[in-house]
Amino acid sequence: MTRILLLGGTTEASQLAKTLAETGADAVFSYAGRTAKPVSQPLPTRVGGFGGVEGLAEYLRTESITHVVDATHPFAAQMSTNAVQACEATDVKLCAFERPAWQAGEGDAWVHAGTIDEAVNALPDAPARVFLAIGKQNLAQFAVKPQHHYLLRLVDAPEASLPLPHTTVEIARGPFDVAGDTALMQRHGITHVVAKNAGGAGAAAKLTAARTLGLPVIMIGRPDVPARPIKGSVAEVMAWLSHSAA
């Protein structure tokens, strides 16, 4: 019997959950619990960390999981690394459902940064108006450049005070569109965009908007994750599930 653990937190995970539910698969959806009101899923859902590699391995055994699909965000490297190690330890099959990284095209003015700190360094010294489109994590690293005004787009209103002195917070949940992101950047007089190379369609609008407005984008590259099979679409994951079940 196939029993699937779907590690979520992305649009792609929600798309896969829908298909798994429609096909009557025995699957559990897992959220880290970072947002106050996560998107509800058509699968039984659990919320919260497992307790590292050991905790996840224990969960896989207890729940008789046979397959893990890691559809977490490409920057959720800890969870993805834990999944590789826990699946190895328990002999559970694993694949990642991962969207290809964005590539710069004609008209884009991207500055590539390997890490968050490199992105901080890539910002100018003179005061700028920065669309810091990286979610709520890693904001503190930008505190060394307090001269900038930062536009933050977050799913939930921040609970604690922000580590940056000059911010505007926009509360919104993707997917976003080009017209909306262009208007947002114009409204806030944005001069620079900082983004994580998440890939996918839902968050790409800001890149098109930046291109249209002639703005530089500081693009942060993905963190390293141990090798695992990677599937790029719901159909590919479904084929992998049925093939590896057989």
Ligand X SMILES: NC(=O)c1ccc[n+]([C@@H]2O[C@H](COP(=O)([O-])OP(=O)(O)OC[C@H]3O[C@@H](n4cnc5c(N)ncnc54)[C@H](OP(=O)(O)O)[C@@H]3O)[C@@H](O)[C@H]2O)c1
The residue among 76 and 205 lying less far from ligand X, judged by its C-beta, is 76
Nearer to ligand X, 97 or 191 (CB): 97
Q: Interface mask (CB under 6 A) for ligand X, residues 158-197, using x and -?
A: --------------------------------------x-
Cβ proximity to ligand X, 203 vs 209, nearer residue: 203
Smaller CB separation from ligand X, 213 or 228? 228
CB of 230 to ligand X, least distance (A): 15
Which of 14, 30, 182, 197 contacts ligand X by CB under 6 A?
30
Q: For residue 132, list its beta bridge partners.
A: 152, 194
- Phi then psi for residue 164, to 5 deg, are -115, 135
Site string for ligand X, 83-112 (x = CB under 6 A): ------------------------------
Task: Return all residues near 217 (Cβ < 8 A) that are at least 6 apart.
Answer: 108, 109, 110, 111, 192, 193, 194, 195, 207, 210
Can you state the angle between helices 178-187 and 205-213, rounded to 10 degrees? 50
Contacting ligand X (CB under 6 A), which of 4, 9, 181, 241?
A: 9
User: In terms of CB distance, is 84 or 215 closer to ligand X?
Assistant: 84
Q: Is 131 in the site for ligand X (CB under 6 A)?
A: no
Q: Smallest Cα–Cα separation from 207: which of 217, 198, 222, 192?
A: 217
Using CA atoms, how far apart are residues 67 and 195, in angstroms rounded to an integer? Answer: 32
From residue 213, alpha-carbon distances to 105, 123, 223 in Å are 15, 18, 29
Helix 52-62 with 77-90: angle, nearest 10 deg: 50
The minimum distance between CB 198 and ligand X, in angstroms, equals 7
171 burial type by CB count under 10 A (0-12 exposed, 13-18 middle, 19+ buried) = exposed
Residue ranges that bind ligand X, judged by CB under 6 A: 7-10, 30-32, 34, 49-52, 55-56, 72-73, 75-79, 82, 135, 137, 196
